[in-house]
Structure 1
């Protein structure tokens, strides 16, 4: 007997109205809970591309994190933390009535999925992390800066070099570089095929959803006491890591770090993708996810 029905919901969780969507309940599978990136992003593009194909075969539950997308914003910018995000997930799982779920997290969502399974291993079956990040790791800042330089025009490379020559902290330099990067460079940074960047931008405009940046700032101000990479070896669930070979945002280095420290992980590379394999190689992506969940 299904506990919930297909459709969209606005449910008050920890004093915040969360947007939740259920698809494919008729398949009666272990639900696959999708966790979006950002921090501060939303599900709109994933939901309309890869998600639509996944829900042809599996029960899929989407939710947008507090302050993100179609969910309500907290009154205070201090009301963002990993602990609160995990608590929100726990209450959403209780609301759904399911005792155990699979997770699919992309970008920062992959990182958050690992935080969730580290905290609630008995509630999670399998986990897919797609181009996962480690946002508190300063090495990721360096990987992103190198990624910008690899696709930038000479004038922008010069400006980035000028910022790097400053005496400020790497965090300050990182923020400054993101501020000077133009849209064309960002598209080449995020996508292997620029046509896919156009698809992404068109859908984001259609969604009308924007990232305030509040969650990213709050999580960077208040990282976990013990970094995730130091706790990966304690996660014993089966994990699939998907990474685009051309990913310049979190990239091969971060995925390799995660893979090497997880006891039960499988790593699959997507040769025609950058940070969004779910958009650039959708059918391969969906097939890999389904095969992993059904194995």
Structure 2
């Protein structure tokens, strides 16, 4: 790794000025690159919660994807695709001047981590997936539909029942269910502990970083030609999958599907967590990740 000091960097790569942050460089370990979710999210909460636990003994690299958080937005709203996100990662890896990195991707970041491993297999050492998604799959949409319906109050559930009774495609049902969901519903969907949900929402507000929705729209409109699930057997890297027992957003279903298709993976269940085990069970998350990335000899 080049002699990078801890700090924030703004680096022009692939026509986009990317925000990159280095923490824990004094540990001089193989870099652990963190991939955020969304699509269209950012690292603000992760940096202030589980991040410091990880960087106590690891060199941690954060970067925010094109059009996300503190990274520049493309001039063309359609310039979002899995291929472009993978090329951005490759450029960042070359800028870091490292031969290999570990990846930790949460939510959509888990899905992106797998795409990166497929596109740049010689660069990736080990992979950690926390609540990984398969955003364009019908099963991921069905998991969310079921999850939302399971947490709302009876009045809202009746409205959602009316939607479910109609003869609609899964996409149409999914969109209409999300139109009915309010912020309380989202918190109940994503978190088992609503005090943590409240703090998470406070950090969202103080970050002043907004998900424009542009990346999700572009990725939905232009999905990958061959679904990720059909390519997972090509991935050789050891992979740890972390799943919250109460994850209603991507669910144990998606983690299990990915686990079954990967050649070399293990799956750990977090019994007191929903979609964000890193926030709901941070000490266990930190311990499990460190043990996986640095196994005892």
Aligned counterpart, 1:266: 266
Between the aligned partners of 1:130 and 1:123, the Cα distance in structure 2 is 20
What is the TM-score when the length of structure 1 is the normalising length? 0.98
Aligned counterpart, 1:279: 279
Between the aligned partners of 1:142 and 1:169, the Cα distance in structure 2 is 11
Gaps spanning 5+ residues in structure 1: where? none
Aligned counterpart, 2:166: 166
Aligned counterpart, 1:148: 148
Aligned counterpart, 1:3: 3
Aligned counterpart, 1:41: 41
SS, match of residue 226 in structure 1: coil
1:120-135 mapped onto 2 (5 Å cutoff): 120-135=120-135
Kindly indicate whether residue 13 of structure 2 is the aligned counterpart of residue 17 of structure 1. no
Between the aligned partners of 2:282 and 2:290, the Cα distance in structure 1 is 12
1:250-265 mapped onto 2 (5 Å cutoff): 250-265=250-265
SS, match of residue 95 in structure 1: helix
Following superposition, the deviation at residue 168 of structure 1 comes to 3.4
SS, match of residue 12 in structure 2: strand
SS, match of residue 252 in structure 1: helix
Following superposition, the deviation at residue 50 of structure 1 comes to 0.5
> Which moves more between the two structures, 167-176 or 179-188?
167-176
1:54-65 mapped onto 2 (5 Å cutoff): 54-65=54-65
Between the aligned partners of 1:271 and 1:159, the Cα distance in structure 2 is 31
Following superposition, the deviation at residue 94 of structure 1 comes to 0.3
Aligned counterpart, 2:226: 226
Tell me, yes or no, if the aligned pair for 1:3 and 1:98 is still in contact at 8 Å: no
Report Cα offsets for 1:110-129 as digits up to 9, x if no partner. Answer: 00000000111100000000
Tell me, yes or no, if the aligned pair for 2:45 and 2:204 is still in contact at 8 Å: yes
Following superposition, the deviation at residue 183 of structure 1 comes to 1.5
Between the aligned partners of 1:123 and 1:186, the Cα distance in structure 2 is 36
Following superposition, the deviation at residue 164 of structure 1 comes to 2.1
SS, match of residue 76 in structure 1: coil
Gaps spanning 5+ residues in structure 2: where? none
Tell me, yes or no, if the aligned pair for 1:3 and 1:96 is still in contact at 8 Å: no
Aligned counterpart, 1:249: 249
Tell me, yes or no, if the aligned pair for 2:244 and 2:269 is still in contact at 8 Å: yes
Paired residues in the alignment total: 295
Between the aligned partners of 1:286 and 1:46, the Cα distance in structure 2 is 12
Report Cα offsets for 1:93-140 as digits up to 9, x if no partner. Answer: 000011110000000000000000011110000000000000011111
Following superposition, the deviation at residue 171 of structure 1 comes to 1.0
Aligned counterpart, 1:77: 77
